[in-house]
Amino acid sequence: MMTRLVCLGPIALLAGIAAASPPVQPHAPGIESPGYVWNAPNEEQMIALAHRADPANGEEAYAVCRGCHQADGSGRGDAIYPQLAGQHASVLIKQMVDVRAGRRDNPKMHPFVAEWVVSSEEVADIAAYLAQLPIPPTNLKGEGTDLARGESLYVKDCATCHGAQGEGDAAEFYPRVAHQHYSYLDHESKLIRDGGRRNANPEMVKAIKGYSDADIAAVSDYMSRLTAESRPE
């Protein structure tokens, strides 16, 4: 009898662990798949966009996000957690929906933003809450040594979508890039260039394809200094 218990123990324990751990992030086709359409209409995004958002409920639902993105939505430049405060609600909704569906890979964040933690309506509530927060005054910037090159690249290849001051475009789902952490902008730009951000806009991938790492560092530094209202600091 004792022997049986000893034998079954580890199996029961393993089964218990398997049942308790959340399912892995799903995988959906993205830019690597032929016929990929950027921002194709999908049910969850339509539900979230149509929802009459409640920022007070969003503030509560945001509690699980604070550990990484911080209570004021300022993120963490050193850990490459993006600033979310002041981002367009439409952009926040699209990115959350894409992570939930598996079009944007983020296995680390997925357990916190998955549908068993946050409902489709709460996605919109959180986005509305974050969008109205003030853009935090400090963010991580680059070394500031190559800003002229950063500006000319940005004006030539990026400003048509992200705006002259980095303000983005809510109606088009183009993110605000002004005053975002340099580390995050640099990391995402490389992912976009190399096909690793699978929900990216193909026009942007074309625009950034020929960039060296130094080009990306320069343009990211420039974007991190845009304030959406004025010239870079």
Interface residues toward ligand HEC, by CB under 6 A = 64-65, 67-69, 80-82, 84, 87, 92, 94-96, 106, 108-109, 112-113, 118, 126, 157-158, 160-162, 173-175, 177, 185, 187-189, 199-201, 203-204, 207-208, 219
Q: Is the CB of 84 or the CB of 135 nearer to ligand HEC? A: 84
Q: Is the CB of 77 or the CB of 175 nearer to ligand HEC? A: 175
Q: Is the CB of 144 or the CB of 163 nearer to ligand HEC? A: 163
Query: Which residue is it, tokens 């004006």?
Result: 155
Q: Tell me if 176 sits within 8 A of 87, measured CB to CB.
A: yes
Distance CA 189, CA 213 (A): 9
Distance CA 43, CA 51 (A): 12
Smallest separation (angstroms) from ligand HEC to the CB of 52: 19
Q: Is the CB of 76 or the CB of 144 nearer to ligand HEC? A: 76
Burial degree of 85 (CB within 10 A; 0-12, 13-18, 19+):
buried
Q: Is the CB of 144 or the CB of 191 nearer to ligand HEC? A: 191
Distance CA 129, CA 95 (A): 15
The end-to-end CA distance of the chain, in Å, is 74
Smallest separation (angstroms) from ligand HEC to the CB of 46: 16
Distance CA 216, CA 186 (A): 6
Smallest separation (angstroms) from ligand HEC to the CB of 173: 5
Q: Is the CB of 109 or the CB of 228 nearer to ligand HEC? A: 109
Smallest separation (angstroms) from ligand HEC to the CB of 228: 13
Q: Is the CB of 43 or the CB of 183 nearer to ligand HEC? A: 183
Output the six-digit token pair for 183.
Answer: 């580390």
Q: How big is the chain by its Cα radius of gyration, in Å?
A: 20
Smallest separation (angstroms) from ligand HEC to the CB of 56: 16
Smallest separation (angstroms) from ligand HEC to the CB of 231: 18
Q: What is the dihedral of CA 160, 164, 170, 171, to 10 degrees?
A: -40
Instruction: Name every residue whose Cβ is closer than 8 Å to that of residue 212 and which is 6 or more positions away in sequence.
Output: none
Smallest separation (angstroms) from ligand HEC to the CB of 146: 14
